Structure formats: structure tokens, C-alpha cells
Amino acid sequence: MTMKAIDTETQSSIAEDVRKQLIWQADPAYRKFHSSLVPGIGTMLGVRVPHLRKIAKETARKDYRGFADAADPTVYEELMIRGMMIGYRHGSTEAYQMELDEFVPLINNWAICDCCCSTYHFMRSNQEKWYAYLDKWMQSEREYEVRFAVVCLLDYFINDTYIDKILSVLPCISQEGYYVKMAVAWAVSVCYVNYPERTKKLLEENRLDHFTQNKAIQKIRESNRISVEEKKRVLMWKWKETNGS
């Protein structure tokens, strides 16, 4: 048997194992509910995220490359596992970046983007390199590639070192997709919760488009970490809809 044949057999084996687990964990009621919340999906089996995380951790340990090469990106759960595994493997910054270069263009909905980004704790280290890496995705014209960058920023870079950079870059993101704007609003709200005085200036100067500014204020007001008085105050920066505007 040739090495290529062995590799193919291994890929088939790990993919078959994962698919059996997914079918076993599938919940038709959850599929119906979750598919209504997530546009852009292909096939969805209805497996809950905790189960996907468990499968991703086990698969990354058993045969990361085998499943990464065999995963079907048209199946929601397989693509989710493919992306999560990146955070559950061990590697260098360069190796992580190579894997993300393969995966990020495959992202086709907000749920896969956000759930996978939440596993990339390696971005807490070597942040200068990671910030530069995310910048290239922020320049993309594709909606979910930009959302990937913004969600990683809000997950790992809202700190003393990067807060001012983030507050300066968020208003400059030009991609007009709905899920980009929602991610920017989310990021602004997290900035406000952690650095209210610095973020206040961004809102006062109205440097965000009307939709994003109002969504950011809505998310700030939804936070349990903001006082009632502060929730009232942020309303002064909300854009008011007017007839003919």
C-alpha cells in the first residue's frame, strides 16, 4: 500500500468517526431552532456547541491534519469542528496563521465565526504579530473575513496596550455587511464596558455610521456591568430617526 493510500485511508477513518458522532448527537428540534438564527448555512445536523467542542478537542488530538483535509465545508458542524480544532492544537504562531489562512475564507455565517474565534486563545500571546495578522483580514472585501478580525479584536485585544488602536480602527472599517456592522457595534460596547471614558469620546464624536452607533448603544444598555444612570446617559449619543433623513 502506498503512503498516499495510507493517508487517504486515515482521512476517511477520522472523517467517518466524526460523522458517526455528529449523527449520534444530532437533535432535530435544535436544528430547526438554530437554523432559523443562522443564515448562509448549507447542511445542518443540529448538534449543540458543547458537543462540537468536545469532538473538536478529541479530533485535534487524534488526527488534526486528517480531519482538516477531509472535512466537508458544506456541512455546518464539520466546518465548525474544522475551525475549532485550530484553537485546540499546539503549534507556533506561524503554524496557526497558516491554518487560519486556509480556514477563514471558508467562514460563511456568524455562528461559525464567533464560536471558532472564541477558541483562539493563542492570540493572547505575541500580540504584536497577531494584531498585524488581523489587519489584513480587516482590509478584506468579504463580510465574514472582516467579522473574523473584529471578533478576534474584541475577544483578545481590548486591553491597555490596544484599546486606543481599536477605537481608532473600528470607525474606519468600510465593509458594509450587516454582520460586520453588528460585530463593530459589539466591539464598541465591550470597549465601553472596560474603558468607558475612552470609548465615550468615540460615541460623542459620532464617528460610526448611524446604524452601528445605535446598535453599540443598544448593546451597552443591555450590559449588566453598566449602571442604570449610565444606561440613561448613553442615550444622548443615539442617532434619532427623522422624516426625510
Total number of residues shown for the chain: 245
Residue environment code for 23-50, b if the CB has 16+ CB neighbours within 10 A, otherwise e:
eebbeeeebeebeeeeeebeebbbbeee
pTM confidence score: 0.91
**pLDDT tens sequence for the chain (245 residues):** 333 333 444 456 899 999 999 999 999 999 999 988 987 677 999 999 999 999 999 999 999 999 999 999 999 999 999 999 999 999 999 999 999 999 999 999 999 999 999 999 999 999 999 999 999 999 999 999 999 999 999 999 999 999 999 999 999 999 999 999 999 999 999 999 999 999 999 999 999 999 999 999 999 999 999 999 999 999 999 987 643 44
Of 170, 163, 169, the C-alpha closest to 186 is 170
Q: Around Cβ 114, how many Cβ atoms within 10 Å?
A: 18
Tens digit of pLDDT for each residue in 44-87?
999 999 999 999 999 999 999 999 999 999 999 999 999 999 99
Look at residues 143, 135, 153 and name the one whose alpha carbon lies nearest to residue 112: 143
One DSSP character per residue, 47-91 reads --HHHHHHHHHHHHHHHHHHHHHH--TTBHHHHHHHHHHHHHS--
